[in-house]
Amino acid sequence: MKRKIQKLTIGCFLSFLLFFSVLHILLPDTGFSPNENRYLEKMPVFDFSTVVSGKFMSQFTDYVQDQFPFRDMWISLKAASELILNKKVNNGIYVTENALITQFEEVDLNQIKKNTKYINQFSQDLKIPVWVMIVPTIAEIYPENLPKYNLEVSQKELVDMIKGDLNENIHFISLLETLYLHKDEPLYFMTDHHWTMRGAYYGYQAFMQEKGLEQGSLKEYEQKVVSENFKGTSYSSSGVFWHPGDRIEVFTKPEFENVSMEADGKKYDSMFVTENLELKDQYTYFLDGNHALTYLNSAEGEGTLLVIKDSYAHDFAPYLTENYKKVILVDLRYYKLPVSDLIEQEDIDEILILYNIENYAEDTNLMFLE
């Protein structure tokens, strides 16, 4: 009896392998995974050098994993089984009742210190105001959404450390208290690591208040919802592909329609790229996503502001066009020319350095500030 059961088990296993091997051959390869928001591996080129080096087998393994039949179903099944086993983390994402939250349990304090040193060195010889805004993530503002037992770092302690290490001539904008006060509002997306345009407004308001300029409320803006089904980076990583999407809420004024944009040489009629709502990454609706160099030219405001930033600036920047005639955004991941030359060429009046705390803790590109 035992031998029959063993034979049956082996037979079922071999049949499973044969069935999916045949499916793998018959089904066409998938080029892009919308749920994971990435391009999947293609069949590697077979030649002598790649076989000898072992590169072919490594690439072939990745190819088989990426092109396995019904891949999304298996990913979701794995995520569901983790939840059934009461595991609250999948692929570095906390899967909670209300949100999908990126883990932030380890931090390289040396990298944070280095980045602050680069900013200090950069600002030392500048004769224009420099502002630094470090944005906390959803985990800091809504800790009640995290599992009861977690090892999240204290973002407040990191922000306080950065503030204390900055030169005295640098103006630091703290957002913790401001965002805590408004936490009953949707300040962050539930399936993505960014803040919403509502959350970004409170960051903008804090920036203006630090400059001595009082701002009104969001009631002064026209509010509209441009998407009800945004599924961002946390969704893509979590495997929880049954999770409902976010709404993208936008706040505008008639003056925004007069702002022109140029990003990496391409010209746009608006800061809001409507056709990008048809893409998986709907966050690129704001400023068309990541670019090395972006110009916003406004009929309002005065002077030129340079923003050295990560993508948290994308739904923040439209507000700045109310106060500055020109806003220039630089992403150091892609912009490799001397920033000092840009400051001189564009006659920059002020500089804002804006990063979320996780990016600030990990980014190695601030070393290119010069």
Residue with tokens 């000092």: 340
Query: Over its length of 370 residues, how does the chain's per-residue pLDDT go in tens digits?
Result: 556 555 555 554 455 445 444 444 544 555 454 544 545 555 555 565 555 555 545 554 554 454 444 455 544 445 444 544 455 677 788 888 788 888 888 899 999 999 999 999 999 989 999 999 999 999 999 998 888 878 889 999 999 999 999 999 999 998 999 999 999 999 999 999 999 999 999 999 999 999 998 887 899 999 999 999 999 888 887 767 677 899 999 999 999 999 999 999 999 999 999 999 999 899 999 999 999 999 999 988 899 999 999 999 999 999 999 999 999 999 999 999 999 999 999 999 999 999 999 999 999 999 998 6
Sign of CA dihedral 229, 230, 231, 234: negative
What are the DSSP calls for 264-289, one per residue? TTEEES-SB-GGGGGSS-GGGGBTTS
**pLDDT value for 299:** 86
**pLDDT value for 29:** 54
- d(C-alpha 315, C-alpha 356), whole Å: 13
**pLDDT value for 240:** 72
- d(C-alpha 138, C-alpha 153), whole Å: 13
Backbone angles phi, psi at 249, to 5 degrees: -100, 130
Tell me the whole-structure pTM to 2 decimals: 0.80
**pLDDT value for 234:** 87
- d(C-alpha 323, C-alpha 256), whole Å: 12
- Which is nearest to 42 in space by CA: 53, 33, 51, 34? 33
- d(C-alpha 160, C-alpha 173), whole Å: 11
Residue with tokens 């640098």: 170
End-to-end Cα distance, the chain: 76
Give yes or no for a contact between 116 and 163, defined as CB atoms under 8 angstroms apart: no
Structure tokens at 218: 């969001």
Structure tokens at 88: 């609250």
**pLDDT value for 97:** 79
**pLDDT value for 324:** 96
Give yes or no for a contact between 62 and 41, defined as CB atoms under 8 angstroms apart: yes
- Which is nearest to 126 in space by CA: 312, 337, 306? 306
Distances (CA, A) of 5 to 14, 17, 341: 14, 18, 75
Structure tokens at 311: 């993508």
Give yes or no for a contact between 351 and 131, defined as CB atoms under 8 angstroms apart: yes
